[in-house]
Structure 1
Amino acid sequence: MGPVRWLAFYGEIADDMAFDGYQIVILDRGYRGSITNIGASGARVCSYLSLCEIRTGDPLFSALHASALLEPNPDWPGTRRVDVRHSSWRAFILDTAIPSIEAAGFDGLMLDTLDTATYLEATDAERYRGMRAAAIALVDAIRDGHPNMTLIMNRGYDLLADLAPRIDAVIVESLLTVPDGQGHFVLADPDAVALERALLAPAVRRRPPLPILSLDYWDPGDRKMIAELYRRERAFGHHPYVATRLLDSIVPEPR
């Protein structure tokens, strides 16, 4: 396939012109601008959807049965992990969250936090047995119920061999850049990059290969390094986007 221009933006509003020329646009479902206007130029407009965690500030949080909630995620204050095996969570995603996303005009989903399911099962196999299988089954149900929606998975490498045939793209996040603990990003260790690329093998082996969208973070003022990150990702065969960590601004590729 040819190059894919894409971006992720989680701010509440932006000028419609900022989205021109992109084939895939990922937004938070709380975006207050016109989804119709963004899609009018041919872009697939995808809503962020967390499948294994939920923000307590999510407008739909009150619709979720409390029995599906697990402990908070210590790395993301205000976020609760969820029991993806629970029937009420499955119903929440399929019968409440996705219909609200469709009603807002989105024609795709960016499926996030699937890593949580495999992490929990690996951490406590007794308590969380079946989390991985339940996560796969949920994505399968989404695909079966919405065959025309674009489905993009963020990471979730442990599930990739099972889900590669059911999704339309996978995001590899922070492949070339990693946080330095001081609020900035630095280049990742080459050995770590090689290991993470190896996890993408199911995407590469699929026929046709599953598009790999890379998402790296860098200082938007450093245009020279941003251009270099685009070059390196394209050399891997990826479709890159480089942005700020909060994804609260649109950072055009340097030209």
Structure 2
Amino acid sequence: MLPIAFYYGAGELDRLSRFGKVVLQADFYTEGELSVLKARGVQTLGYLSLSEDVGPPAPWQRPERNPDWGGAFVHVGDPRWIAHVVAQARRAMARGFGGLFLDTLNLEQTYPEDLPHLLTLIAAVKEEAGPDYLLANRGFGLLPELADLVDGILFESFSARWVNTDGYARWPDDVLEVHASVAERLLGLDVDLYALDYADSDELADFARRRAGEYGMLCFVSDRVLSRI
């Protein structure tokens, strides 16, 4: 089996069955579909956002929104937000997911005061939802404590990125060097390491996979909206 896939569409059970782990939108799959994937040896991870809310207006939301995806930033330490996220995690696990994919962990440049609250939230999700596997997306401002709470860390856009809705490119050399230094730090942690890169050509995809392998990461390459398997 291939190691991991990130797919934010629906269905495609046969194609997803080629992977050991698949990250999926939690509401896009039924209990029956998740059972099929589990029977085929696939560990399903349900998407969970920890610092952005795409739902209706709520008291834990900040006025600011993510300019790329439109979700409202939140006060991570608000007890009502914590209860909301934990409830989402419990529902995903009850539906049959094998674990959770923790997204929107990069608060060090926007709301660094919320980093301790974010660690508390991750610990609450782990304890109260009981996932078999937790995969964190980046969250480098939470290191090294994060590595004690999760099983794996994903370096999204490690080597290549989308630059607009139509184009993809490798990072400039100075950014690649910064990413490499972070990757070397990750190698010293006792967690599984993955990379997710974005590309629209075989050449760029091969560059991303090769470079990820040099830093001990298993790499998956897709498009901006994760519609390719």
Q: Taking structure 2 as the reference length, what is the TM-score of the superposition?
A: 0.90
Identity %, equivalent residues = 22
Going from structure 1 to structure 2, the CA distance change for 1:152 and 1:182 (only over 3 Å counts) comes to closer
| Aligned-pair CA distance for 1:231 | 2.2
Match of 2:227 in 1: 248
Superposed CA offset, 1:8-39 (max 9, x none): 0001222x110123111000012235111112
Match for 2:102: what amino acid? L
Amino acid at match of 1:42: G
What's 1:6 paired with?
Answer: 4
Q: 1:236 to 1:41 in 2, by over 3 A?
A: same
Residue 155 (structure 1) shift: 0.9
Relative to structure 1, is the Cα distance of residues 204 and 84 closer, same or farther in structure 2, using a 3 angstrom cutoff?
same
CA 133–9 in structure 1, closer or farther in 2 if over 3 Å, else same: same
Asked if the contact 1:23/1:43 (under 8 Å) is kept, the reply is yes
What's the counterpart of residue 32 of structure 1?
Answer: 29
Q: Which runs of 4+ in 1 moved over 6 A?
A: none
Which stretch has the larger CA shift, 132-141 or 72-81? 72-81
CA shift, 1:146, in A, is: 4.2
1:91 aligns with one of 79, 83, 92:
83
Distance 1:24 1:101 in 2: 16
Contact 2:162 2:224 (C-alpha < 8 Å) held by counterparts: no
From the two aligned structures, give the one with the greater strand fraction: 2
- 1:218 aligns with 199
Q: Secondary structure at the match of 1:84?
A: coil
Q: 1:229 to 1:202 in 2, by over 3 A?
A: closer
* CA offsets 1:184-237 (integer angstroms, 9 cap, x no match): 11111232112123224443212xx32211001111xx3344234322221221
Partner SS for 1:67: coil
Aligned-pair distance for 1:67? 1.7
Q: Structure 2: how far apart are the matches of 1:213 and 1:154?
A: 9
TM-score, length of structure 1 as denominator length: 0.81
Structure 1 unmatched ranges of 5 or more: 123-128, 251-255
User: Is 2:50 the counterpart of 1:54?
Assistant: no
SS at match of 2:136: strand
CA distance in 2, matches of 1:243, 1:119: 26
Indicate the residue corresponding to 1:114 in structure 2.
105
Quick one: distance in 1 between partners of 2:173 and 2:69?
31
